[in-house]
Structures are given as structure tokens and as C-alpha cells.
Amino acid sequence: MALELYLDLFSQPCRSVYIFAKKNNIPFEFKKVSLLEGEQYGEEYGKINMIRKAPAIRDGDFCLAESIAIMQYLAQKFKTPDFWYPTDLQQRARVNEYLSWQHMAIRMHGSKIFWLRLMIPKILGVEVPQDKMDAAVEDLNGSLKLIEEKFIQDRPFIAGEQISLADLVAIVEIMQPVGAGLDVFEGRPRLSAWRDRVQAAIGKELFDDAHQGILAAQEMVKTMDGSKLQIFKPKIMKLFL
């Protein structure tokens, strides 16, 4: 049985797994899971991932959730180039440091901007209070500053001279608020130069392929059927407002 990747490229973690697998020529069958339509709550998907999130993989009889665990599994099983998840103790520690930090920082803040600027007002029809938006932007700016000053510093990449899982995860997270129309790179030359290096290391064609959906989100919401999200509205409002 071929390796199966259960993905929705609207999701940052899914894009990380997708890019990593594609870049390393890991053969897989793409299984689309529409998170906005609630397909993660279906009976069949529950057999793959009881956590009810994406991404997930099925490798024969082995199923695994959580993007970081998935990429580490793929890196070791398929013996991908060492720079992705270095064997050097201190370089790997740098990668792990970022991967441990990002969940409740840049990923959370980027997602919040995406929902507050785009999905909640355009799809759910709820006006977002300005103080909520201002606070979300402030939180995002704080995380972006840490990425520049703590994680990148004067290095080409987070762990040193070559791209790693940390850079891959970071760039897809940063692109989430960009999809909502917020230019996070303006006035940040260090972050912009790092982005260019990461895109070059991934390859422009693959980078654009993975991000085409999120970067078209502002147009997509104009024709999206918001009725399917109404069942999630209380949860969304509690989470983001």
C-alpha cells in the first residue's frame, strides 16, 4: 500500500508536510480532507486520526498525526538529506527549539489574523472589533520580531547554513496572514531576505504550488458557501473573539 497523506493545503501544517514530501521525492497518495467542510469529523477519517485534525498519514497499517511528528518520521524512514533534521546535536537542538516554540506563537497568531481579517467578517458576517484586531496584529508582530532577532539572527537559516524543518515550518506559517492580505514582510528586510533564501531552497514552482490556495483566499471567500461553517460558528467565535 502506498503512503497516504491526508491534507488540506489551506492548513499551514499540511503545507509543511506536502512541501517536505514533494521536495524529497517521497512517493505518496494525496488524500484531500476539507477542514472547512468538516470532513475531519467523518467516520472514515476518524479511523485514520482520532485527533480529528490534518495532516495525518497512513503507511501500511501505521497511522500518524501531527505535522512535526510526521515530518520527523518521513525524514528518518526515507533518509532525507541531513540538513532537514540534522544529526549534529546543537543544530538539531536549534531546529527542535523553533518547532517547540511555534505552536503557540507564530502559528497561532498567524491563524488568528487570517480568521479575523478574512474568514469571520467575509464568511460568517461578523464585524471584528478594532481592539481585537489591533491586539492580534501586536501579537503577530511580536512573534515576527522573535523570528528575526532570536531564531534567524545573522544566519542564512534558523539552524545555520542550510534550510531545515524549522525554516519550512516557519515560512508556511508566515504565509497564512499574507493570504489574508497582510504584508508581513514590509519594513522587515531581514525577514524578507530569509524568505527569499527559503523559497529558493524549496524551489519557486513547489512553493507556489503549495501556496496557491491560501494566496487566492481573498478571491475565494467571495464565492464560498458560508452556511457550511455555521455549525462551527460558536467554536470559532470563542476561539478568536
What is the 8-class DSSP label of residue 87?
A: S
Per residue in 150-168, pLDDT (tens digit) is 999 999 999 999 999 999 9
Mean pLDDT, the chain, rounded, equals: 95
Which amino acid, 193? A
Mean pLDDT throughout 113-120? 95
Fold designation for 89-240: Glutathione S-transferase Yfyf (Class Pi); Chain A, domain 2 (1.20.1050)
Which of the residue ranges 41-45, 99-103, 177-181, 198-202 would you say has the lowest mean pLDDT? 41-45
Backbone CA torsion sign across 202, 204, 206, 208: positive
pLDDT at position 241, please? 81
Per residue in 50-98, pLDDT (tens digit) is 999 999 999 999 999 999 999 999 999 999 999 999 999 999 999 999 9
Tell me which of 112 and 226 has the higher pLDDT.
Answer: 112
Q: Is the pLDDT of residue 144 over 70?
A: yes
Give the domain ranges of the chain: 4-80, 89-240
Q: Is the pTM of this model over 0.85?
A: yes
Mean pLDDT throughout 26-38? 94
Mean pLDDT throughout 3-17? 97
pLDDT at position 123, please? 86
pLDDT at position 240, please? 87
Task: Name residues whose C-beta falls within 8 Å of residue 11's C-beta, 6 or more positions apart in sequence.
Answer: 35, 54, 55
3-class DSSP state for residue 28?
A: coil
Q: Is the pLDDT of residue 235 over 80?
A: yes
| Strand positions, DSSP E, the chain | 4-7, 29-32, 56-59, 62-65
pLDDT at position 1, please? 66
Q: Is the pLDDT of residue 101 over 70?
A: yes
Superfamily of domain 4-80: Glutaredoxin (3.40.30.10)
Which amino acid, 84? W
